[in-house]
Amino acid sequence: MSDVKCERRGAALWIIIDREERRNALNEDVAHGIADSIRLAQADRSIRAVVLTGAGDRVFCAGGDVKPDADGNPFDVDPAQPRNPIVELFKEMERCDVPIVARVNGHAFGGGFGLVCACDMAVAAEEARLGTPEARIGLFPMMILPYMLRVVPRRALLEMCVTGEPWTADEAKALGIVNHVAPVAELDEKLDWFLERFVHNSPTAVRLGKHALHAVQDMTLPQSLDFAQSFLAQMARTQDAREGFRAFNERRRPDWPAR
C-alpha cells in the first residue's frame, strides 16, 4: 500500500502523505511518491494546481522519520550514489511549472516545514504549528535551509533554528510563510476559495510566470531586467496571450488554448 495518494479534485491534483500513524513523516518512499505525483501533474495540461497535504487533521508532516524501526531514513546517503531522495524531491518541485499549494492541515516540523517552504503558496489551519526542532536532537535543518532562506526572514529563521521553538500559523502568516489561515473545520473552504482565484487564469501565463520567477530570483538586477524584457516579448506571442487580448477587447471571458 502506497504511503502517498493522488486524487483529482476539479482542476487540482491532491498529493496526500498517507502515514498518519507515523505523523506523516518523510522517508525515501514518500519522497519518491510525491516526486512521481508531481511529474503526473506536469504531464496533464488540464491540471492547474497541485495541493500537497498530510492525512488526518493533526499533522501535515513531522519531518524525517527518525524512529529506530524507520524504513528509508532520509538522512542516509550512499557514498556511491550521493543523491538524497529529499533533495531530489525539492529539485522536482522546483522544476514543476504548475503552482504547488501546501494545505497545512496540522503541524509541520523539520522536513515538513521544508516542504511548506518549497511549495509556491500555503494555506494553513490555525491550529497548526510550524518549526525546525533539529537543534534539540543535535542536528541543524541543512537540507531545507536553501528553501527556508528564500521564504523566511533571515533573523526570524535563525531564531527558529537555534531555539527549536515553533510558530503558530498566525505568526507564520505575519512573516509571509503562509498565505492564508483558517480554522481546521474551514480549511478546505478557504483552500477552495484560494484555488478559484487562479485556476481559471491563463495556464500558459501561470506556467511561464513561475518559470520566470525561479529564473530571476538568482540573477543580478541588470540580468533580471534583461531577462524580463525578452521573456515578456516571448509571452506576448503565445496563443493564450492573443486570446486574452481578444477577449478583453470583445468584453468576454477568455477560452484559453493553454498554448
Q: What is the distance between the alpha carbons of residues 221 and 87, in angstroms, rounded to a whole number?
A: 28
Confidence (pLDDT) at 75: 57
DSSP states along 77-117? -BTTB---HHHHHHHHHHH--S-EEEEE-SEEETHHHHHHH
Q: Checking phi first, is residue 201 left (phi over 0); if not, alpha (psi -120 to 50) or beta?
A: beta
Q: What is the DSSP letter of 204?
A: H
Give pLDDT tens digits along the chain (259 positions).
589 999 999 999 999 999 999 999 999 999 999 999 999 999 998 999 999 999 999 999 999 887 655 565 655 666 676 678 899 999 999 999 999 999 999 999 999 999 999 999 999 999 999 999 999 999 999 999 999 999 999 999 999 999 999 999 999 999 999 999 999 999 999 999 999 999 999 999 999 999 999 999 999 999 999 999 999 999 999 999 999 999 999 999 999 998 9
Confidence (pLDDT) at 83: 77
Encode pLDDT of 200-254 as tens digits. 999 999 999 999 999 999 999 999 999 999 999 999 999 999 999 999 999 999 9
* Strands lying side by side in the sheet with 180-182: 4-9, 12-17, 49-54, 100-104, 121-125, 180-182
- Domain 4-196, CATH: 3.90.226.10
Cα distances from 251 to residues 179, 199, 200, 246, in angstroms, run 31, 20, 16, 8
Confidence (pLDDT) at 65: 81
Question: Which one of 28, 92, 127, 134 is the catalytic residue?
Answer: 134
* Domain residue limits, the chain: 4-196, 203-250
Confidence (pLDDT) at 27: 93
What the block records as the C-alpha cell of 161 is 533554528
Confidence (pLDDT) at 110: 95
SS3 16: strand
| 165 included as an active-site residue | no
